[in-house]
Amino acid sequence: MAVGDTWNTRLEVSLNGVEEVAPPTDLGLYLVGDPLTPSGPLYEIVGCVREDETIGKYVDADQVVVAPASSSPDWPLHLGQIIRFQSELLGSECLHSEPPDPLIRSWTVHRLFVRYTRLVPDLDPKSWVTERSDVLFSEIDQIQTWTDEDNPFGDGRRLADYVLEIDPIV
């Protein structure tokens, strides 16, 4: 994948700090944190709670449609409610489904970032945990591999994942 490519995905979020807002609030997705800072990309999402008989409840933020993360508990939300919350968006590969999943959208990729988090030994010497207090970013033009054991910072073992700066295709 390279900058300018299109990508099909299903966006998932955890509903932390959800608050109900007035219906006149503009629906949409807003970047509120710089992806290159240690805090990473953070988005504010304002959307209307809707329901589909196949997938259940989801948040429709105008052209952005968001599903609950699999780790989320049952959503304590009612249909038609307008909510605002902040979350990091996690993308997973689009799977073909029948009937078509309304959460699958196409996106234009503007920038690609590799986020590196340090891995430190866990209690078991053969296991590792992620050290979130030490996060570094590297901007790239093209993804050549989805695993990145060797990092450009040369400071030991790190776990890498990828952050997209995207716009929906309408």
Is the pLDDT at 58 greater than 60? The verdict is yes
- 94 and 23 in a single domain? The answer is yes
- Taking CA atoms, 62 is separated from 24, 66, 70, 146, in Å, by 13, 10, 23, 31
pLDDT category of residue 156 using cuts at 50, 70 and 90: low
- 122 and 90 in a single domain? The answer is no
Residue 88 belongs to some domain of the structure = yes
The residue with greater pLDDT, 16 or 23, is 23
Residue 1 belongs to some domain of the structure = no
- 160 and 86 in a single domain? The answer is no
Instruction: Compute the distance between CA of residue 66 and CA of residue 47 in angstroms, rounded to an integer.
Output: 9
Instruction: Compute the distance between CA of residue 100 and CA of residue 97 in angstroms, rounded to an integer.
Output: 5
Residue 25 belongs to some domain of the structure = yes
* Mean pLDDT (whole number) for 36-58: 81
What's the confidence (pLDDT) of residue 150? 60
What's the confidence (pLDDT) of residue 46? 92
- 17 and 65 in a single domain? The answer is yes
* Mean pLDDT (whole number) for 49-65: 81
* Mean pLDDT (whole number) for 117-130: 76
Full domain range(s) for residue 132: 109-168
Is the pLDDT at 86 greater than 80? The verdict is yes
Instruction: Compute the distance between CA of residue 85 and CA of residue 21 in angstroms, rounded to an integer.
Output: 10
- 13 and 73 in a single domain? The answer is yes
